Copies of this chain bind each other. A is one copy, B any other.
């Protein structure tokens, strides 16, 4: 699929993001970074995403902020309205709740609300997700909230390649973009071309092709889905894995086409199941391809519970490879669910 763009060089997800930031800052002097501990801490951010940027671009453009999430997000928005292209960082997406008004009442609405002609070139990057024992207030996944807020674009890259290309697109976009990075992905490696490239929003990636079950996976779950696919392959079940990459805009066609082939849909994300984005994925697919469903769609998502600290409990709270394997088998075996007429 994306094979033609792949070359030899391999980077981590964090390095890919770092490269995107660096290149965009070199390209456009209006790009600035705002966030906590993005400059002097450890040479550039808790996960190294802003590594070396303070040294290269100076403290004017790489601003370590006080612990004032609402304030510096608002500052990013105002700066975007007044000619800069700020990239604001939340160290953990959980902290974005402190800036919810700035993000969802202000940034999301201002372009449309003022008639549609105002540019709001603001990127809000945040690290999210569970799996590292960071506990209930440092492990959430909030994409559903942002996707539910008209006026925001929402991006969730799952590979270094996508991370770089999508972040560049985000920075060049004239609309507010919420860019969600999963904490377990920073250390993952993958091919990333040296040359400048961008990835358009609204184009899903078919990460693996298969005939039996369509699996729409968000962010880190793409990797769980790949693991599950390997296991399932041994039993002759082919998973087709689709990574939407951006939730807003959302590429419903690619998913619908896949279901027309497989007749089965499995959706997975780490965020809690209830009112999560998986339900939206299913709903869109029903709207587009209802008659192709041979079995009720399934969700394999986070439990409706805060993310626990303990290893055992955390693992139980978030969707695992085995859960995906089990769900895929259930879809294929057509085990009756709920009120299925026998």
Q: A104 contacts which chain B residues (CB < 8 A)?
A: 97
Q: A279 contacts which chain B residues (CB < 8 A)?
A: 275, 279-280, 282-283
0/1 interface trace, chain A 286-307, chain B, CB 8 Å (1 if under): 1111111101110100011110
CA distance A102 to B291 in the complex (A): 44
Q: Which of A146-161 contact B (CB under 8 A)?
A: 147-151
Of B260, B272, B297, which is within 8 A of A286 by CB? Answer: B297
A98 close to B (CB within 8 Å): yes
Q: A340 contacts which chain B residues (CB < 8 A)?
A: 290-291
Between A and B, 29 residue pairs with Cβ closer than 8 Å are A70-B98, A95-B101, A97-B105, A105-B137, A109-B136, A112-B305, A113-B135, A144-B144, A144-B145, A144-B275, A148-B274, A150-B274, A150-B305, A150-B306, A247-B275, A248-B274, A275-B277, A275-B279, A275-B280, A279-B283, A282-B283, A282-B286, A283-B297, A283-B299, A286-B296, A287-B296, A290-B293, A290-B340, A291-B338
When C-beta atoms are compared, the residue in chain B nearest to A151 turns out to be: B306
0/1 interface trace, chain A 314-342, chain B, CB 8 Å (1 if under): 00000000000000000000000111110
Q: A299 contacts which chain B residues (CB < 8 A)?
A: 283
CA distance A230 to B153 in the complex (A): 40
A147 touches B275 (CB 8 A): yes
B109 touches A306 (CB 8 A): yes
Known: A256-B338, A290-B340. 17 other contacts (CB 8 A): A70-B98, A94-B105, A95-B101, A147-B274, A150-B303, A248-B274, A256-B339, A275-B276, A278-B283, A279-B282, A283-B299, A287-B296, A287-B337, A288-B338, A289-B339, A290-B293, A291-B338
Interface residues of A, Cβ cutoff 8 Å to B: 70, 94-95, 97-98, 100-101, 104-105, 108-109, 112-113, 135-137, 144-145, 147-151, 247-248, 250, 256, 260, 271-272, 274-280, 282-283, 286-293, 295-297, 299, 303-306, 337-341
**Centre residue among A112, A260, A283 by max chain B CB count within 10 A:** A283
**Centre residue among A70, A276, A279 by max chain B CB count within 10 A:** A279
CA distance A83 to B49 in the complex (A): 45
A339 touches B150 (CB 8 A): no
B148 touches A276 (CB 8 A): yes
CA distance A337 to B292 in the complex (A): 11
Q: A282 contacts which chain B residues (CB < 8 A)?
A: 279, 282-283, 286
CA distance A276 to B283 in the complex (A): 11
Of B100, B109, B274, B338, which is within 8 A of A98 by CB? Answer: B100
A341 touches B291 (CB 8 A): yes
Of B113, B275, B289, B304, which is within 8 A of A306 by CB? Answer: B113
